[in-house]
């Protein structure tokens, strides 16, 4: 873990409820793709957020914070960042946390699965894999409730077009009549597309209750537990 101070460079809306935050650390940030950071509000008050940027961007950390409700965990963190930005003061960070970073040395095809703002966790890995010219298939599934939540759809389609073996598959739970892509739950789309998950490494982020269900369903669909990664595993049975 690295303790850093950082300036809040910008806060901008991605959707009605999701904001992009850009932080400029005082020193180069050292982390792996898939790590998260903690925003320190107080000695015993630290808020965890996935790092959306690639580790090659050592002088700019990107967060995607989904926040609604005045007293919510994320909204309080966002208000802290806004106040720091307005007053031009630095915030305190703990960077490089987590045990579910991407492991390209395994040299296996990958499923990157995100529910909602879990997108930021797998976006960091997707960008990094493109940078290192990862030569195995990479399937990026992003599940949302409404089409309007696919705030990075064009960006990820461009990512998929950058390599012949990269694919981006958005999945909309409550799709409109005009939606032509996958519908329903994101992990069920994975199991529909892939006959067996046995050869894949699987990285996933989303609500803890969702991740527990996905883990069990994927194991029943052939996934090997030793090649499944989610920080949520540390908090669920």
Say what the pLDDT of residue 235 is: 78
The percent of residues in the chain predicted with pLDDT above 70, rounded, is 99
Residue ranges per structural domain of the chain: 2-97, 104-234
**What is the reported pTM?**
0.94
* Range list of H helices, 88-185: 119-131, 153-161
Fold entry, domain 104-234: Rossmann fold (3.40.50)
Could you read off the pLDDT of 23-42 as tens digits, one per residue?
999 999 999 999 999 999 98
- Structure confidence by residue, pLDDT tens digits, 38-68: 999 988 999 999 999 999 999 999 999 998 7
**233 pLDDT higher than 90:** no
CA 188 to CA 141: how far, in whole Å? Answer: 11
- Both tokens of 164, joined, read 């012949």
Nearest to 186 by CA among 126, 122, 115: 115
Confidence tier at 70 by pLDDT (50, 70, 90): low
Q: CATH fold of 2-97, please?
A: Elongation Factor Tu (Ef-tu); domain 3 (2.40.30)
Distances (CA, A) of 231 to 43, 49, 100, 105, 212: 23, 11, 6, 19, 11
pLDDT (mean) for 132-140:
97
Q: How far apart are CA 94 and CA 5, in angstroms?
A: 9
pLDDT at 225 over 90: yes
Q: Tokens 């493109």, residue?
A: 130
């Amino acid at each position: 873990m690295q303790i850093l101070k950082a300036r809040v460079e910008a806060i901008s809306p991605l959707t009605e409820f999701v904001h992009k935050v850009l932080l400029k650390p005082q020193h180069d940030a050292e982390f792996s793709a898939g790590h998260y950071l903690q925003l320190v509000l107080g000695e015993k008050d630290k808020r965890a957020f996935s790092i959306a940027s690639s580790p090659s961007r050592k002088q700019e950390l990107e967060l995607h914070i989904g926040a609604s409700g005045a007293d919510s965990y994320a909204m309080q963190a966002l208000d802290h960042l806004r106040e720091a930005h307005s007053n031009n003061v630095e915030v305190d960070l703990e960077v490089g946390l987590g045990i579910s970073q991407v492991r390209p040395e395994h040299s296996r095809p990958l499923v990157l699965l995100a529910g909602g703002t879990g997108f930021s966790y797998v976006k960091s890995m997707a960008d990094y894999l493109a940078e290192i010219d990862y030569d195995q298939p990479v399937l990026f599934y992003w599940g949302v409730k409404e089409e309007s939540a696919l705030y990075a759809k064009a960006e990820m389609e461009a990512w998929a077009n950058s390599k012949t073996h990269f694919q981006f598959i958005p999945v909309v739970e409550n799709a409109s009549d005009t939606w032509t892509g996958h519908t329903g739950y994101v992990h069920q789309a994975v199991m529909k597309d892939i006959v067996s998950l046995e050869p894949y490494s699987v990285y996933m982020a989303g609500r803890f209750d969702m991740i527990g269900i996905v883990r069990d369903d994927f194991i029943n669909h052939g996934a090997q537990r030793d090649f499944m990664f989610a920080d949520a595993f540390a908090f669920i049975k």
